[in-house]
Chain A
């Protein structure tokens, strides 16, 4: 069974239809990149999957739990709090703008959810934070505050913050878009190493070359639809649809 399944997702903001009929699934251990022009709905799709937006209709399932299901009237009905809570434990999200808590030290950013929400002991949370910071190459920054870090370092902290809760699936919403080009490399390296560990990831990105290198599957979205989907060798190197070709030509030039 796939880890995440979204079927027939529709979402509008007022008159604007952003997601028209999206179905996708993510298997365990898979790295899926979502590419496409701005306004194609890829970020909205990610936000719907992570409960930051609600869908109008369609089903979203994480393992056995349904976040929402379409009722007979065609409207999505959301699960109760207990199920939503279980689902939130299942995924992590890395934001484009990091969204670290500025008043918390790097360590506390990572431990806050563990101690406050999951009621883990301080020692246990600190050990987890130390382990993750080591992995992110930020062991010496535990006591620093986000404002003292570079963008790349902040993004690595936010990845550590998401990983602290042992998610089964990790979403990235354009993780390198807010970074200087010279800093994107460090984030891509982290994602690459996570992919090696068989971390399930869904990455919305503009980094075509990276999407090709790291992902098992690439989804090209345009105008609220999935236009093309498949291994990067097919979608990026040998696109079938005209829209994908035009987009890739514009990007890769």
Chain B
């Protein structure tokens, strides 16, 4: 295990070489671990913010993109298809860097003239429009799996387009897409670590810094455990939501 040499190096550094193993554990290892946990917890808010705000913006945006993708107006449809293919076909890391430096490259605005929170803004915009592309495709598949008879039944009952979508189609679509959305959310939890490319202070950025400082992988292990636990929570919550939609099947 990688942790044991880490443990030994910590112990030797503090000159407690002669102490029993549990003395070392209690006096050196646990306080050190606690320090790292506290440090990374400080970055958790950054990670959580990216996660929450990206979901908040990309899901409604994804629905909008899906409608554009299905539009009867051909130029809009072509443009949207192109946008989706670019978002899915290039690395998110690259997109984030491009967004961040866009004011300079495209408008010749010096980066130090940008507002203070530009870094965070660029991150959220980048994450949101990237994830919106994926969500749009997920929603599109969820929509196309709904039988045409549902539209026809609603049409004959004179529901109208809006009511048909809100009351008949959307609830069924939500059920259809839940498993894929869960997947996407789990990927997003891990993707938040890409914010380190712009040196935004979130958990992974801190873990990398601290790991370099300590010359030890321990902060990275701890970060890994954080991501894993966060995704356990996501999976648990989404399983509950899926269960809520279990009361019917088609």
Contacts and interface: CB of A to CB of B under 8 A. Distances in A.
Indicate the size class of the contact surface on chain A. 20 to 34
Indicate the size class of the contact surface on chain B. 20 to 34
Contacts of A165: 157
A99 B152 contact: yes
A146 B171 CA distance: 16
Contacts of A116: 159, 163, 167
A95 B156 CA distance: 10
Interface in A81-115: 85, 88-89, 91-93, 95, 97, 99-103, 112-113
Interface in B209-250: 247-250
Interface string B141-175: 00000010110110111111001000110011001
A15 B191 CA distance: 52
A112 B152 contact: no
Contact of B159 (A51, A100, A117, A145): A117
B158 A117 contact: yes
A117 B156 contact: no
B171 A103 contact: yes
A8 interface: no
Contacts of B157: 88, 112-113, 117, 161, 165
A217 B147 CA distance: 33
A101 B153 contact: yes
A88 B150 contact: no
Interface in A26-58: 50-52
Contacts of B150: 99, 101
A91 B157 CA distance: 9
A93 B154 CA distance: 11
Nearest to A87: B158
A50 B152 CA distance: 10
Which applies to chain B's interface (DSSP): helix, strand, loop or mixed? helix
Contacts of A161: 157
A110 to B, nearest CB: 11
A147 interface: yes
Contacts of B155: 51-52
Given A50-B156, A51-B156, A145 B163 contact: no
Contacts of B248: 102-103, 145-147
Contacts of A117: 157-160, 163
A30 B153 CA distance: 24
Contacts of A50: 156
Nearest to A112: B167
Interface in A117-158: 117, 145-147
Interface of A: 50-52, 85, 88-89, 91-93, 95, 97, 99-103, 112-113, 116-117, 145-147, 161-162, 165
List the 9 closest A-B pairs by CB distance, nearest first.
Answer: A99-B149, A99-B153, A113-B157, A88-B158, A145-B248, A93-B156, A102-B250, A103-B171, A147-B249
Interface of B: 147, 149-150, 152-153, 155-160, 163, 167-168, 171-172, 175, 247-250
Given A103-B171, A103-B175, A146-B248, 10 more contacts: A52-B152, A52-B155, A52-B156, A91-B156, A97-B147, A99-B149, A99-B152, A102-B248, A113-B158, A147-B250
10 contacts: A51-B156, A95-B149, A97-B147, A97-B149, A99-B150, A102-B172, A103-B172, A112-B167, A117-B159, A162-B156
